[in-house]
Amino acid sequence: MGTGLVLINCNPKEKKETIQKNTQVEISDEKLDFLGITNKDKLSAASKRALKWPTDLGNEWFFEHNVADLKGDLAYEEGVVRRDPSAMIKHDGKYYVWYSKSTGPSQGFGGDVENDKVFPWDRCDIWYATSTDGWTWKEEGMAVPRGEKGAYDDRSVFTVEIMEHEGMYYLCYQTVKSPYTVRVKNQVGLAWSNSPNGPWTKSKAPILSPAGNGIWKGEEQDRFAVEKKGDFDSHKVHDPCILPYKGKFYLYYKGEQMGEAITFGGRQIRHGVAIADNPKGPYIKSPYNPISNSGHEICVWPYNGGIASLITTDGPEKNTVQWAPDGINFEIKGVVKGAPHAIGLNRTADNEKNPTEILRWGLTHQYKNSDYQYIRRFTTWNKKQHVAKGVKTKK
């Protein structure tokens, strides 16, 4: 059976008369029973949304997680910051991971911006480690250092991701040029090698930069004072991750806007994508940006011909798993209680076994305090049922 719903759409600019459009929502007895709708002729906004949900609702996109300490060189070390692990790849029987590394406490802004350490990710270099089992890790050394004074990456290189493609290895990462002020504009750099052990060749210029259409207000170092905010990524481009996709290379990233606001979902953080024909670029930002209205660290993986994305921390759609059949138009597929921070995915996983199979285990970072973070291992599982203690269920 069906019922007619009237949707009213008013366009104040055109000041045209109201346009009415009739749509049909099919309501089966089974669907009414499953959704618990009392009266099909009196539908609340919530019930109308529920009736549009897919008919094959399941829990395959939903997961829970826990974290545990690692052994070896990635165990917590006093006075050392190790954070933002990359995805893991496997080479010659060993897992490889790259990460941001710095030493000493952070002083924040307001002091000697030329010599102080502003954040834990300030004054970082990119290091890497290997493991045969994913638990005990050996730190192998520095992979990508900061640039020479005056270079676009002379202050810090951090939040790195790895891509392996046709026998070459690519590291993309955030960069900061001195001095590190609150209005500094982060960029994205790239390094490549024919071995995961290096040596790495760095790009001479950034492969991605913030939009240039925001306007600061005044000269004071106030990141919230703007005359024009500009695009969603007018201040910073963060957390880059490149995926080979449909014969091209999709660089997913987090954008921070000049004059970033606090909205009903928290910080005003969104994601974007830039696309290239070659791993080294040039990368052209999609005209459909932003492609999310929420999120923080980028966590994306191929699934079922499209791209899946874990959206965390900020925005009205935080703590959701989303999927886009074209890598751009994302829809919510599941809501989770929470997720590990700064996930380092296991790229050796069978992506197609389950939508979240790639999340079964991986790496994350955790704060000991505001100065020091360390890398840990997470595990997730699909939640299949909920029962009270002592209740037996059929398997």
CATH code of residue 224: 2.115.10.20
Read off the DSSP letter of residue 146.
Answer: P
Q: Identify the pLDDT of residue 385.
A: 77
Q: What is the C-alpha to C-alpha distance for residues 11 and 330, in angstroms, rounded to an integer?
A: 26
Is residue 206 situated within a structural domain?
Answer: yes
Is residue 388 situated within a structural domain?
Answer: no
CA atoms within 13 A of residue 230's CA, in its CB half-sphere:
21
* pLDDT at 184 > cutoff 90: yes
Confidence of residue 354 (pLDDT cuts 50, 70, 90): very high
Same domain, 47 and 152: no
Share of the chain above pLDDT 70, in %: 93
Q: Identify the pLDDT of residue 395.
A: 58
Q: Identify the pLDDT of residue 54.
A: 79
Confidence of residue 8 (pLDDT cuts 50, 70, 90): very low
- Which one of 11, 31, 51 terminates a domain? 51
Reduced to 3 states (helix: H, G, I; strand: E, B; else coil), residue 242 is strand
Q: Identify the pLDDT of residue 139.
A: 98
Lowest mean pLDDT, pick from 50-59, 135-144, 218-227, 355-364: 50-59
Same domain, 30 and 143: no
* pLDDT at 2 > cutoff 80: no
Number of residues assigned to the chain: 395
Same domain, 21 and 109: no
- Which pairing describes strands 236-245 and 248-256: parallel, antiparallel, or unpaired? antiparallel
Confidence of residue 19 (pLDDT cuts 50, 70, 90): very low
- Which one of 12, 27, 51 terminates a domain? 51
Is residue 57 situated within a structural domain?
Answer: no
Read off the DSSP letter of residue 159.
Answer: E
Confidence of residue 14 (pLDDT cuts 50, 70, 90): very low
For 170, the domain range is 63-382
Mean pLDDT of the 128-155 span = 98
Is residue 182 situated within a structural domain?
Answer: yes
Mean pLDDT of the 182-187 span = 96
Is residue 12 situated within a structural domain?
Answer: yes
* pLDDT at 16 > cutoff 50: no
Q: Identify the pLDDT of residue 386.
A: 77
Q: What is the C-alpha to C-alpha distance for residues 85 and 153, in angstroms, rounded to an integer?
A: 19
* pLDDT at 163 > cutoff 50: yes
Q: Identify the pLDDT of residue 175.
A: 98
Q: Identify the pLDDT of residue 38.
A: 87
Q: Identify the pLDDT of residue 18.
A: 35
Confidence of residue 31 (pLDDT cuts 50, 70, 90): confident
Q: Identify the pLDDT of residue 131.
A: 98
Same domain, 20 and 84: no
Q: Which residues make Cβ contacts (< 8 Å) with residue 23, sequence separation at least 6?
A: 4, 5, 7
Q: What is the C-alpha to C-alpha distance for residues 265 and 296, in angstroms, rounded to an integer?
A: 12
Bigger pLDDT: 386 vs 175: 175
Using an 8 Å Cβ cutoff, are 275 and 251 in contact? yes
Is residue 205 situated within a structural domain?
Answer: yes
Same domain, 7 and 100: no
Same domain, 271 and 361: yes
Same domain, 305 and 328: yes
Same domain, 216 and 68: yes
Mean pLDDT of the 116-128 span = 97
Mean pLDDT of the 224-234 span = 97
* pLDDT at 56 > cutoff 90: no
* pLDDT at 59 > cutoff 50: yes
Q: Identify the pLDDT of residue 392.
A: 78
Mean pLDDT, the chain, rounded, equals 92
Q: Identify the pLDDT of residue 93.
A: 97
Is residue 302 situated within a structural domain?
Answer: yes
Mean pLDDT of the 302-312 span = 98
Lowest mean pLDDT, pick from 10-19, 180-189, 241-250: 10-19
Using an 8 Å Cβ cutoff, are 188 and 237 in contact? yes
Same domain, 22 and 89: no
pTM reported for the whole predicted model: 0.91
Confidence of residue 26 (pLDDT cuts 50, 70, 90): low
Same domain, 149 and 225: yes
Same domain, 122 and 221: yes
Same domain, 69 and 195: yes
- Which pairing describes strands 136-144 and 71-72: parallel, antiparallel, or unpaired? parallel
Reduced to 3 states (helix: H, G, I; strand: E, B; else coil), residue 253 is strand
Q: State the total domains in the chain.
A: 2
Mean pLDDT of the 347-367 span = 97
Is residue 72 situated within a structural domain?
Answer: yes
Q: Identify the pLDDT of residue 27.
A: 77
Lowest mean pLDDT, pick from 4-8, 267-271, 346-350: 4-8
